[in-house]
Amino acid sequence: MNKDEANAILALKNAWNGAIAAADRLRELAPAVEGLRDDQGVGSLDLETYHRVSMAQANAAMALRGVLEELQARAAKG
């Protein structure tokens, strides 16, 4: 394995771990969202936190996707 391949594997591991960590944080908020009352006003919600956590998860997933697509392109070239 050359240095480029080792770096590619490290990038995959880091992106994967980032996506897992972001998903875990999203999962941590699940009980709070599930427990919202149907008659609760939107103004009382912690929308900033929900937005921040969901964006972190989306960004982490896109980063992982980008790494995987790059690795697929490298593998196709041989």
Closest CA to 44 of 54, 35, 36, 52: 36
Radius of gyration for the chain, computed over Cα atoms and rounded to the nearest angstrom: 18
| Reduced 3-state DSSP string for 3-47 | HHHHHHHHHHHHHHHHHHHHHHHHHHHHHHHHCCCCCCCHHHCCH
Which sign does the torsion angle of CA 52, 58, 64, 67 carry? negative
Quick: pLDDT tens for 16-53: 999 999 999 999 999 999 999 999 999 999 999 999 99
pLDDT band with cut points at 50, 70 and 90 for residue 78: confident
pLDDT band with cut points at 50, 70 and 90 for residue 1: confident
